[in-house]
Amino acid sequence: MFGFHYRLERHSIALAVAIILVASVGGAVEIAPLFTIDETVEHAPDMRLYTPLELAGREVYIREGCYACHSQMIRTLRDEVERYGPYSLAAESQYDHPMLWGSKRTGPDLARIGGKYSDEWHFAHLFNPREVVPESVMPAYRWLSRNELSTDDLGRYLAALRKVGVPYSDDMVAHAADDAHGQATPDSARARGVAGRYGEPTNIRAFDGDPGRLTEMDAVIAYLQILGQLTKAAYGSAPDAGE
């Protein structure tokens, strides 16, 4: 073995090829099957897609780095299930490009935050967390309510996501910007379009309390309120936990 190596280390290209081959095995064995084995992702027929407004909120969440302090992955441990709700299923993030499971809990897990608090609570909390929770170390995100939400690119977001496998329809892509406005403007014509395309249970309301303006605050709260609500698959298996 050492004799072989004695010869190998005299040839730089052979050494390089050997490194690539030896290093490739682990990833190939562990990652490739995840795309083919059926059990990797559970079947969740009731799974709905992010609306354009929720998607925009998700982008704000990414942009502000909320994922650096908040996980969205409840592990299969008793204390986590009791604290945060039923453990997370793979199906719940099957349309998440990228996933936001996180690796650090400076703040609590948010996988099932949807519906836990009112919109007003979220607004006050994001505006100044210490107003609501005095001991909090979460940053204040005051500018979210100042910034108008830019909806120009939402159609392209949906189109790009469709290219990587999220089943958005032509109709959804074409109406992306309208739907974003509609979801935060209840009782408007545009609002009815949202319910038609994304289903009746979709939250349609002025998330930041002001139906006249569409802000980044609207988007983030819409996103937070849907976390853990896209499918009921996880609640079926553990009905006693959570709620």
Partner 1 sequence: MVAQLTQFERRLALIIAGLMALCGLVLAAFGHRDPIGVHGLIILAAAIGTMFVVISGSFADVPDDSHLGRYYDDPIKVGVVLAMGWAVFAMAVGDWVAWLLAYPEMTFDAAWSGFGRLRPMHTTGIIFGFGGNALIATSFHVMQRTSRARMPDQLSPWFVLLGYNLFCILAVTGYPMGITQSKEYAEPEWYADIWLVIVWVVYLALYLRTLARRQEPHIYVANWYYLAFILVVAVLHIVNNLAMPIALASAKSFPIFAGVQDAMTQWWYGHNAVAFFLTAGFLGMMYYYLPTRSGRPIFSYRLSIISFWGITFFYMWAGSHHLHYTALPHWVQTLGMTFSAMLLVPSWASAGNALLTLNGAWHKVRDDATLRFMMVAAVFYGLSTFEGSFMAIRPVNSLSHYTDWTVAHVHAGALGWVALITFGAIYALVPILWKRQGMYSSALVEVHFWLALAGTLVYVFAMWNSGLVQGLMWRTYSASGTLAYSFVESLVAMHPYYIARAVGGLLFLSGAVVGCINIWMTARHAPGTAQDAVRDRPLVILASRSLEPGE
Segment 36 to 75, residues that bind ligand HEM, using CB under 6 A: 68
Task: Give the helix ranges, DSSP H, for 128-188.
Answer: 129-132, 143-146, 154-163, 170-174, 176-183
Is residue 141 within 8 Å of residue 126, measured between CB atoms? yes
Identity of the amino acid at 57? G
Binds 151: which of partner 1, ligand HEC, ligand HEM, none (CB < 5-8 Å by kind): none
Identity of the amino acid at 4? F
Considering only residues 86 through 145, tell me which ones interact with ligand HEM, judged by CB under 6 A: 103-104, 106
DSSP 30-83: HHHHHHH-GGGS---TT--PPPHHHHHHHHHHHHTTGGGT------S-HHHHHH
Q: Using CB under 6 A, which of 53, 56, 61, 72 touches ligand HEC?
A: 61
CB of 222 to ligand HEC, least distance (A): 11
Q: In the complex with ligand HEM, which residue's Cβ is closer, 70 or 175?
A: 70
Considering only residues 81 through 100, tell me which ones interact with partner 1, judged by CB under 8 A: 82-83, 87-90, 92-100
- Give the bridge partners for 73, in sequence order: none
Q: In this chain, which stretch among 86-94, 132-140, 159-167, 187-195 interacts with ligand HEC, using CB under 6 A?
A: 132-140
Considering only residues 31 through 50, tell me which ones interact with partner 1, judged by CB under 8 A: 31, 34-35, 37, 39-41
Q: Which residue is nearest to ligand HEM (CB)?
A: 103
Considering only residues 186 through 225, tell me which ones interact with partner 1, judged by CB under 8 A: none
Structure tokens of 167?
Answer: 């089943």
Give whole-number Cα distances, 179 to 18, 57, 173, in Å: 53, 14, 10
CB of 4 to ligand HEM, least distance (A): 26
Whole-number Å distance between alpha carbons of 225 and 149: 18
Binds 3: which of ligand HEC, ligand HEM, partner 1, none (CB < 5-8 Å by kind): none
Whole-number Å distance between alpha carbons of 162 and 170: 10
104 near ligand HEC, rule: CB under 6 A:
no
Q: In the complex with ligand HEC, which residue's Cβ is closer, 15 or 137?
A: 137
- In three-state secondary structure terms, 148 is strand
Q: Identify the residue whose tokens are 């799974």.
A: 47
Q: Using CB under 6 A, which of 149, 158, 191, 220 touches ligand HEC?
A: 220
Q: Select from 240, 224, 215, 218 the least CA-distant residue to 78.
A: 240
140 near partner 1, rule: CB under 8 A:
yes
229 near ligand HEC, rule: CB under 6 A:
no
Distance from the Cα of residue 129 to its chain's centroid? 22
Q: Identify the residue whose tokens are 């709905």.
A: 48
Binding site for ligand HEC (CB under 6 A): 61, 64-66, 68-70, 106-108, 110, 113, 129, 133, 136-139, 141, 220, 224
Binding site for ligand HEM (CB under 6 A): 68, 103-104, 106
